[in-house]
Structure 1
Amino acid sequence: MRRVEHVMGFPVSLRVDDRDVPAGAADAVFAWLRAVDERFSPFRPDSEVRRLDRGALSRAAVSPDLAEVLALCEEYRRASGGAFDARLPGRGLDPCGVVKGWSVQRAADLLAAAGARRFVLNAGGDVVAAGGPWRVGVRHPERAGRLCAVLELTDGAAATSARYERGDHIVDGRTGRPATALLSLTVVAPTLTEADAVATAAFAMGADGVGWAAARPGCEVFAVDAGRQVLRTAGFPAAA
């Protein structure tokens, strides 16, 4: 089973190698991701996030899913010392730094519940995989079309935060200024929820974020700083 759709502003590709997984499993994955975009996008005026932000919805009335996302945002805000913050000064509520990884991991859980044992789900370069090994390329932060590393995933996830697609869009919540100390940072973790949030928070922290991410249980890191120096943890699963 192979399928690609454009959801949440980026391409999402699915490959399932199991022969006995029903085709409806892929339908459920993409229906879930479309629903997440409608409910949690900070750019849709009728989304749950926007209604909460403008006071049309009370905190007590939010859905269990949004409550979980907001709790994760607060967890990483505290863990990063405020570098990661879904409520930056002068901006509305934006939980996208958590929503992408959280929602794609939930989609992967739907696949597993449908019987999939060997699959890979790639959401704009962030990957969750099962039943590997799968080879995953890490894009070169300055040379489009080239890789700076290839990693191997068996059961786990990898997420990259970088400046090459959207410029200096990640802001350090402690200063209100764009984070520019790193060119890219990739985190490998047991789930994409953690890999994506840790990568975003670490990137916002700057140079100190590499060591912070590496100290998180179960996380391995590959980073390129603004001086073009490569930093990686000893356990980073580089492919042979």
Structure 2
Amino acid sequence: MTRGKICVSIAAQDAKSVSAQVRAIADCVDVVEVRLDAMAEPEVAKCCSLLQKPLLFTNRPLWEGGEFAGFEDDRIAPLFTAIELQAAYVDFELRADPLLRKQLLQAMESAPTRMIVSWHDFKSTPADSDLEDILQQMLKSGAHIGKIVTTAAEKTDLLRLIKLQEKALAKEFSLSCFAMGEVGRISRLATLYMGGYMSYGAVNASQATAPGQLSVRQLHALCEQFEKVESED
């Protein structure tokens, strides 16, 4: 059975702390997201040196739920460093300046790094027409992978996200699509078996980087249980 990747999202003050946290859960994850916006200084090179897993570098701004409050040129500078060091992924927000996105994509032409273009809604799940518009923007963005994360108020929101995931699959576009909040927790598992590229978890419950986020051990255990049941049928 094919499933998407499990990514641990780590917000720590320095590369050494990130590395220590990864060691405790390395057997459960496929990718490590380093939240540069949580660092005192963006230690990209040290992370690449210390960590053996594929790395995703994110420098999330305040206006997209992150901690970075400076100028955009300063925010994306460490992402260029990540590309130069051949990191597996960098995350860049759909709402950000498309000219800066173009510059990052141009830098990737001579590197194996792939761009994840992301969009988050911390209050609700938009109407279907709005979700489809976001997907269309991602398809035209030039990014390799999309990430659409909403906040679910009811189970019907999850069904609408599943439909959006199906539309991305039909267009052969890699998309991570799930919901935050208590209602959305199940979608973090379900997306992995419905064509979702990747789901994100925390090192542990106290270090969640988003509402309703499972720990990667919980997510990994649920995957194992689901796959065991499927293999027995």
- Select the structure with the greater relative contact order (CA < 8 A; seq sep ≥ 6): 2
Same fold (TM over 0.5): no
- TM-score, with length taken from structure 1: 0.30
- TM-score, with length taken from structure 2: 0.30
Higher share of residues assigned strand: 1
